[in-house]
Structure 1
Amino acid sequence: MKQKFETMRGPLSLCFDLDGTLVDTAPDLIRVLNIVIKEDGLAPVNYDHARRHISYGAKALITDAYKTQGRAVSGERVSTLQAKLLELYADGIADHSRPFPHVRKILDGLARKGHDLSVCTNKPGYLARPLLAELGMTDMFSAIVGSEDVPNKKPDPNHIFEAVGHNDPSRIVMIGDGAPDTLAAKAANVPSILMRYGYSTTPFYQLGGTIMLRCFSQLPSALIRLTR
């Protein structure tokens, strides 16, 4: 059954996922992943395969790298490598990561139209905020809320409400690229817009987004469709 949403009017609270939606962080995450798994003699991972798993976090990336190469690894070892990966990542968080095409221009245009922009990410806030600062994007957002900034991260709908600063579903749109985004949006009873260029192990047509886009430049027209 098709989900029904309240009629949307006026300036919106636009809640954005970070990795795979606003910023292509795969180059730096996979770079440091290859560094840490090399300690145990693993070969560099397949880039496209690992890219799809980024939304599940550093521990999942490491575990999948061992599984893919037919190697067993203990939970204790994964935790050790995760700590090293995050340390290396923090030291070069924006060495190769860049906003996806059109992101800066579109965000600027949406803000000028009066929409409120926030970030709701399952990336820890202590990494999300420096990343956006390095890219000169911090001032675009009224709030940047990471996974450890809330009691429960996406798909908990309260993660969205915390980011936008209210719980009025008639004013909120979730923009992301994966299952945590669509599930959180459904739980909050707000529409979701999915970027098909993002990071997802599940085919995008199976994620249940309200609207799916191929390019970030299509976002303004998608928002018009939602507010008619």
Structure 2
Amino acid sequence: MKILSNFLPPKESSAYNPAKSVEVQPGATAHLTMNGMGGERYGIRKILPFSANMNAILISARLNEDLYLFRGVQLSVVHNLFKSIDGLFAPFIIQKNNHIVFELTNTGAAKQTVNIQLVGYDQFALSKLSAAYQQIGASVPVPRFLYGHSTVPAGGLNIDLGVKSKSVDVQVRRMAMSSNQPGAITASMKVYNTTVRDEVFLEQVNDEFNDKYINVPFVVGSNVPFDVYASNYGAQPAEVSFLCESYVQIRTGFIPAE
């Protein structure tokens, strides 16, 4: 897989980073709909959310009506994945006249105002990005998220977070975790019974990927189990989320449909 890491948008590009806010009542769900650039394509490189208590907000993101980027994870794990990085290697594209919908559920006891900002590329930058990949004989990488969330009881060991693999092979590049019980949660990971991460604290996972990509990428095969386990060494139950940036693995001689 070939990935451009030093891409610069052309001078014709617009500085367009839309943001919206919504108030979410306790126990309720609210929606934020963002249209990108309306009549033009818009490529999302970063999703930057914020609220007063991001561990109490569960977020799902649905692109162009039918594709869920991720579902039911803590707002804080989205914040952790994007806050210290330039952005995705390749953008998710909102096609013209389409939109992205964020579903926000407040599991806390107080109302919260949630703001979400998108940072990305307009059609000029997307065209230049596509041309840059053509020059190196590669297709633009296709990003996918792997994700999971679970309640881990106090003293619970190796609780599966329910991460589902994709119907295509994907190469893992970055990951983040979050919990409402900091300092008490450890995680480990297996791909088809092969350990790819020994048990470490959640904070160590985030430190490893704070502003970096994975040292040696690994592949999660099509429909192959990717097990992310969490253990809770604290005295209270914990809500734990996992979010991973990955890319469709391109096989030699195979080009996926646009």
Same fold (TM over 0.5): no
For normalisation by structure 1, the TM-score amounts to 0.29
Q: Which structure: greater helix fraction?
A: 1
Q: Which structure: greater strand fraction?
A: 2
Q: Which has the larger radius of gyration?
A: 2
Q: Which has the higher contact order (CA 8 A, sep 6+)?
A: 1
For normalisation by structure 2, the TM-score amounts to 0.27
